[in-house]
Amino acid sequence: MSSSNPINLADRYALLQADLVRLEHAYYVLDNPIVPDSEYDRLYRELLEIEALHPEWITVDSLSQRVGGAALKEFDSVTHAVPMLSLNNAFEDAELVAFDRRCREGLHIDQVDYAGELKFDGLAISLRYEHGSLVRAATRGDGASGEDVTANIKTIRAIPLKLIGDNIPAILEVRGEVFMYLKDFQKMNTQAAAQGEKEFANPRNAAAGSLRQLDSKITAKRPLSFFAYGLGALEPQSWLPKTHEELLNAYVKLGLPVCAERRVLKSVEDILVFYGEVGAKRDSLPYDIDGVVYKVNSFAEQAKLGFVSRAPRFALAHKFPAQEALTTVLGIDVQV
């Protein structure tokens, strides 16, 4: 934490809140970040450290209590039947050990299986299928409600308009990430530069900016892709497999794109090996990732662990060190 003087801590806390609000608006609403993610992460962690010292300062509208993002008013609003939450982040090995311990203690068992997968750096989306047909697509927004981007989503070739197979539930909300392959992003930015148009800062912002176009003809020209990794509403509940891994296998059978870079991890050691392996191949992957995600594999165990305010207790994002460089134009002192 940069402010060690307790007299100034309240001021520092207020300044951090104000600056983070500004950064989140630029990132989530305008798709135009002002600082690198690593800098945002550092300020956000400082906010959490101050709140740990002064929990009495936390209010319901504190940034730490809500999912980042707000809907653009030009889009129709969609209320999520099941909230779309964020993920708690970890940077150090010790945080992984603590996560595993919390899960085991919360479940009163000695060993927990985790589904390990990539943390795609794109935009979260919820796709609602009714009797196998895609009827609505919504962004995460503030987690409770998002933007109706159905017309734009329908232009993405990787997203099936109809599910396939003989085991299709009546209602299925598929959660996943819209992203852009690096080669497509580079090509798009080269073309934009040649035509004197605005270039995007990175593939994540290109994907978000392209999806949140008011004219779906523009989205149709943007090379977007998609990976499924989660679940929202479901009917009947009896369709639900026992584990997250089986859910993703079922998605593949329904014709949904699921990333093959995933496996079940049975210990902290497995987790750290997976993190190291993915980190080693990060630069050769055809899309950006900013970490890996571990989710308790059993849905029954997930339900027992539940949620805290803005994130599930049963999942953790393990972030990689920052790669990007953006000019800093913050009016706040940033210390490591």
Among 33, 141, 169, 209, binds ligand NAD (CB under 6 A): 33
- Point out which span in 45-53, 111-119, 243-251, 274-282 binds ligand NAD (CB under 6 A): 111-119
Task: Check: CB of residue 102 under 8 Å from CB of residue 90.
Answer: no
Nearest to 161, CA basis, from 78, 80, 255: 255
Name the minimum Å distance from CB 166 to ligand NAD: 27
Q: Is 92 annotated in some ligand binding site?
A: no
- Give the other-Cβ count within 10 Å of 284's Cβ: 6
Interaction with ligand NAD in 5-24: which residues (CB under 6 A)?
Answer: 23-24
Q: Is residue 100 close enough to count as binding ligand NAD by CB under 6 A?
A: no
- Point out which span in 5-13, 86-94, 162-170, 214-222 binds ligand NAD (CB under 6 A): 86-94
- Establish whether 119 is a catalytic residue: yes
Nearest to 120, CA basis, from 33, 222, 29, 202: 202
Name the minimum Å distance from CB 327 to ligand NAD: 12
Assigned token pair, 175? 């959660």
- Give the other-Cβ count within 10 Å of 302's Cβ: 20
Task: Check: CB of residue 301 under 8 Å from CB of residue 314.
Answer: yes
Q: Is residue 185 close enough to count as binding ligand NAD by CB under 6 A?
A: no
Site string for ligand NAD, 244-283 (x = CB under 6 A): ----------------------------------------
Interaction with ligand NAD in 293-322: which residues (CB under 6 A)?
Answer: 293, 317
- Give the other-Cβ count within 10 Å of 143's Cβ: 19
- Point out which span in 45-53, 84-92, 215-223, 250-258 binds ligand NAD (CB under 6 A): 84-92
Radius of gyration of the chain (CA): 20
Q: Which is nearer to ligand NAD, 88 or 213 (CB)?
A: 88
d(C-alpha 295, C-alpha 32), whole Å: 30
- Cα separation values, 189 from 174, 185, 192, 199, 283, Å: 30, 6, 5, 5, 20
Angle, nearest 10°, between helix axes 268-281 and 93-107? 140
Task: Check: CB of residue 166 under 8 Å from CB of residue 228.
Answer: no
Name the minimum Å distance from CB 267 to ligand NAD: 20
Binding-site size, ligand NAD (CB under 6 A)? 26
Residues in touch with ligand NAD (CB under 6 A): 23-24, 27, 33-37, 40-41, 67-68, 86-87, 89, 117-120, 124, 140, 177, 229-230, 293, 317
Residues of each annotated binding site for NAD(+): 37-41, 86-87, 117, 140, 177, 295, 319
Residues of each annotated binding site: 37-41, 86-87, 117, 140, 177, 295, 319
Catalytic residue annotation: 119
